[in-house]
Amino acid sequence: MSPAALVDRFGRQITYLRVSVTDRCNLRCLYCMPEEGVALQPHEAILRYEEIARLVSVAARLGVSKVRITGGEPLVRPGVVELVRRLASIPGISDLAMTTNGVLLAQNARDLAEAGLQRVNVSLDTLRPDRFARLARRDHLAQVLAGLDAAEQAGLTPVKVNMVVIRGLNDDEVVSFARLTLARGWHVRYIEVMPLGEGEHWSEGGFVSALEIKERVEEQLGPLAALPHRSGSPARDWRLPGATGTLGFITPVTEHFCGECNRLRLTADGRLISCLLRGGEVDVRQALRDNADDEVLQNILRDSVSLKPSGHHLEECRPTVSRGMSGIGG
C-alpha cells in the first residue's frame, strides 16, 4: 500500500468513490422518494463537472481507482456524457461505472460507452408494466427494457440488474428475475430494502431477507453454485445450472459487509460521506470553489475517511444520516 493511500482507523483502504451528480429523478420509487419528489438543491449548490473532476483526480492520486456515477438519476443531468469523458481520462481511474434507473439509457448508451464508461447497473424492481407504473409512479418499463438492450449492444457489460425486493409488492417476481440470468446472461442482484428515506414504510412487513430469496429461487430453479467472492464487492455471487449470468445478494441488513468496505461517497452538493448509514458529512465544495490546492483537498478526503465507522449495525439501530437514498446515491 502506498504511504499516500486513504486508509481509515480500522485499516480499510478507500479505493472506490461513488459520485452523485444530481438530486433530481425522473421516477418516484415508492421506497425512495415521495410522490411530490424531494426538496431540490438550488443549481448553484450542485458541484460543477470541473469541480467533480478535480476532486476525483486528487482522490485518484490517493489510490482511488474505481468511480461510480449515481444520483438521483444521473442521466437527467445535462452533459453527463462529458463528465464521463473527463473522469475516464484521469490517470489511475481504471473502473468507471454508473448506476441508473435506465429510463434514458437507450438514447445515451452508445455515447456513454464511447466516452469511456465501462459498465452500468440498472435498477429494476419489476418486469410487469402495470406494477412498474405503481412502484415507480411512472409508466416507463418499456424504456428501461430498451435501455438494458442498448447497454448490452454498446458493450456496457456485464449488465447488472439491481432489484430491491419488498414483500407484497414484488417478492413474487424473484424467480422471474433469476430466469433472466439464463435467458440474457445478465447479472441480477437482489437488494434487501433498507430503512432509509421512504424505506421506513417497508422496513418491517416489507422486509425480505436474502436467505429467503435464495430459498425461493432454489425451490423453483434448483441449487445455486457459489462463485468465488470478489474482495470489496457487497454481493455474494451464485450461478444457476446452465446460466451465463449470475445471481447476487446484497445484504446490508442481515449480513453487512462493513469489514471490507472500501467506499466513500460524494453528494451532488459537495459533501463527502464515509458511511451510507452512520457518521457525518464533510464539506468539500467550499474548498473546491476557493480553488484550494491539492494538499487541502487531500486533507479533506482524509478527514472524511477518518470519520468512517467500523460498521452500521442496521439490524440494531436506525441510520443517523438525514438524507434519503436519492440524496446519497445508493
For residue 70, the partner it binds in ligand SAM, ligand SF4, none, with Cβ less than 5 to 8 A by kind, is ligand SAM
80: three-class secondary structure by DSSP? helix
Q: How far apart are CA 99 and CA 69, in angstroms?
A: 6
Q: How far apart are CA 208 and CA 251, in angstroms?
A: 10
Q: How far apart are CA 170 and CA 324, in angstroms?
A: 21
- Partners of residue 272 on adjacent β-strands: 266, 282
The answer to the question of residue 24 lying near ligand SF4 (CB under 6 A) is no
* Residue of 12, 28, 140, 278 that binds ligand SF4 (CB under 6 A): 28
* Residue of 15, 57, 123, 304 that binds ligand SF4 (CB under 6 A): 123
Which residue number, 138 or 302, has a Cβ lying nearer to ligand SF4?
138
The answer to the question of residue 8 lying near ligand SF4 (CB under 6 A) is no
- Residues found near ligand SAM in the complex (CB under 6 A): 25, 31-32, 70-71, 73, 99-101, 123, 162, 164, 191, 193-194, 196-197, 199, 325-326, 329-330
Q: Burial level of 66, CB count in 10 A (0-12/13-18/19+)?
A: middle
Residues 32-71 that bind ligand SF4 (CB under 6 A): 32-33, 71
Omega before residue 223 within 30° of 0, cis:
no
For residue 141, the partner it binds in ligand SF4, ligand SAM, none, with Cβ less than 5 to 8 A by kind, is none
Residues 89-118 that bind ligand SF4 (CB under 6 A): 101
The answer to the question of residue 262 lying near ligand SF4 (CB under 6 A) is no
The answer to the question of residue 326 lying near ligand SF4 (CB under 6 A) is yes
Which residue number, 162 or 274, has a Cβ lying nearer to ligand SAM?
162
Q: Are strands 16-20 and 66-70 parallel, antiparallel or unpaired?
A: parallel
Q: How far apart are CA 297 and CA 287, in angstroms?
A: 7
Task: Return the C-alpha cell found at 293.
Answer: 490546492
Cβ of residue 303: shortest distance to ligand SAM, in angstroms?
Answer: 25
For residue 193, the partner it binds in ligand SF4, ligand SAM, none, with Cβ less than 5 to 8 A by kind, is ligand SAM
Cβ of residue 8: shortest distance to ligand SAM, in angstroms?
Answer: 23
66-70 sheet: strands from edge to edge = 225-226, 235-239, 247-250, 187-192, 160-165, 119-123, 95-100, 66-70, 16-20, 263-266, 271-273, 281-283
The answer to the question of residue 23 lying near ligand SF4 (CB under 6 A) is no
Q: How far apart are CA 12 and CA 8, in angstroms?
A: 5
* Residue of 27, 55, 217, 301 that binds ligand SF4 (CB under 6 A): 27
Kindly list the residues in this chain that would bind ligand SF4 in the complex (CB under 6 A). 25, 27-29, 32-33, 71-73, 101, 123, 325-326
